[in-house]
Structure 1
């Protein structure tokens, strides 16, 4: 059911992109928007990992450069029954992480320097397991496609405003209020769709991580630590890719709460604590 819902939401996101193309250039723009939507979906399928990694300037590291991190990723990947993904480090003191890739055979896990410096081993294990759960269930492709199309919608909305505001004479020029509303509402609509897609997957990834490590409390503590860190030092980057991150890291907290791509940290921790009780405690190996 979740997969059907996700496909429907991606179709809606693509439809919004096509609509914007029509708003900019009429029938020709509609066709361009349709072609652009198809190209972007296909491009995201094959290049989603590169797009997401480039968005946060993630750098690949070898087992020799990050041996402890590699051992943890490899051990958990084997336990999850997936190939060991490529490992990247993001050069920022902000604490966060994400996974990307079109399938488990073409996946990558990226963590920030900040998370490596601040997080104990049991909590970091929970974070890595969360990202591997996304890879296992192929959430990474869905989120990357949504992020890519969402970014294009925001860009086209701005183009629609500027082209509409300065193109043609006064009689043929579109209503400036309508243009302004479209410029504001289209990115918001894209964000809401991305938010819905992302929220349906985060709880499941948390639960998958808890089962993988046998330690729900480790991830719960990590989420609490990450929430505090995000308030003090938000992670800079393209907002369209924020659904990929393990925790929302937008600098404007009021706006972040209104259009959060993630469930609240409190709700996620509460579910993990209930899961710990169902599992009969935990044991970290």
Structure 2
């Protein structure tokens, strides 16, 4: 179900890009321009997304000798999931968070913060790592790079056209050109719609990764406990980094209702915990009590 929803949202986002190009630039020339722009930027994000994300948070690669417990845990979970061993990184901050990146499982990296390692017990660290490896297995890191790029292309086109409208006074030279009112509405609402769709894709993939982690560890409650601790910690000490990469993080620390959830990159912590508790009943797993 989540996979189908993701494909549908990606198709909707791609259709929005083509439509925006069609209306803003004009005709099929505009649509083709949008497709070419998306293709070029997607190629760049596909190849360089891991390096950009790791640099954005100042992540530092660690070897087995530098972090043996963490390294062994990642190795064990990767073997269990049938994945190549990813590169392991630690982010030097007391903010508690984690993320995975890379264009495919063969070029993946998993990063955790020092703060996360300080506040979580080993079984909860394992749950977080299993969540990130589920992202790698599902190629969510590539999906997020693609959605961010398409949404960025839409915003770029809208911004360029808005500049053009400002300097030209919103006039059109012939009746075959774009309608000024249509252009104005597109410039105003297309980036907003793209952002909402992007956030929807991110939230869907988080639920899937939580479920994948529960299956991988057989201990959904450990991840539920970790999510609660991380949520509490993120509200006190949010991670410092580029907001564009927030969908990669396991926790954004923001909760709210209606519009808050609409623009959030992650589902509410409460919804994720509730889903994990349902999975625990299905798996029949026995673990220590939930930490509130």
Shift of 1:223: 0.5
Shift of 1:193: 1.3
Shift of 1:252: 8.9
Counterparts of residues 245-260 of structure 1 (less than 5 Å): 245-250=249-254, 256-260=260-264
CA distance in 1, matches of 2:70, 2:195: 33
Shift of 1:247: 1.8
Query: Cα RMSD (Å) of the superposition?
Result: 2.9
CA distance in 1, matches of 2:281, 2:268: 21
Shift of 1:153: 2.9
Q: 1:232 maps to what in 2?
A: 236
Shift of 1:160: 2.9
The superposition leaves residues 253-274 of structure 1 with CA deviations (integer Å, 9 ceiling, x where unpaired) of: 9854332232221111112122
1:207 matched to 2:211? The reply is yes
Shift of 1:176: 8.6
Q: 2:43 maps to what in 1?
A: 42
Shift of 1:76: 1.0
1:197 matched to 2:201? The reply is yes
1:218 to 211, 215, 222: 222
1:271 matched to 2:272? The reply is no
The superposition leaves residues 27-72 of structure 1 with CA deviations (integer Å, 9 ceiling, x where unpaired) of: 5554332211112233333333233333433332222332222111
Q: Indicate the SS of the match to 2:70.
A: helix
Q: Indicate the SS of the match to 1:234.
A: coil
CA distance in 1, matches of 2:113, 2:257: 21
Residue 104 of structure 1 contacts residue 136 of structure 1 at CA under 8 Å; is this kept in 2? yes
Q: 1:92 maps to what in 2?
A: 93
Residue 214 of structure 1 contacts residue 283 of structure 1 at CA under 8 Å; is this kept in 2? no
Corresponding pairs, count: 283
Normalising by structure 1, report the TM-score: 0.85
Counterparts of residues 1-285 of structure 1 (less than 5 Å): 2-22=2-22, 24-27=24-27, 29-166=30-167, 168-169=168-169, 171-172=171-172, 181-250=185-254, 256-282=260-286
Residue 227 of structure 1 contacts residue 265 of structure 1 at CA under 8 Å; is this kept in 2? yes
Shift of 1:129: 0.5
Shift of 1:242: 2.2
Shift of 1:5: 4.1
CA distance in 2, matches of 1:21, 1:92: 41
CA distance in 1, matches of 2:201, 2:262: 16
Is there any run of 5+ residues in structure 1 with no aligned partner, and where?
A: none
Q: Measured at CA, do residues 4 and 67 of structure 1 come closer, stay the same or move farther in structure 2, by a change above 3 Å?
A: same
Residue 63 of structure 2 contacts residue 88 of structure 2 at CA under 8 Å; is this kept in 1? yes
Q: Indicate the SS of the match to 2:101.
A: strand
Normalising by structure 2, report the TM-score: 0.83
Shift of 1:128: 0.3
Is there any run of 5+ residues in structure 2 with no aligned partner, and where?
A: none
Q: Measured at CA, do residues 242 and 253 of structure 1 come closer, stay the same or move farther in structure 2, by a change above 3 Å?
A: farther
Higher mean C-alpha displacement, 153-162 vs 105-114? 153-162
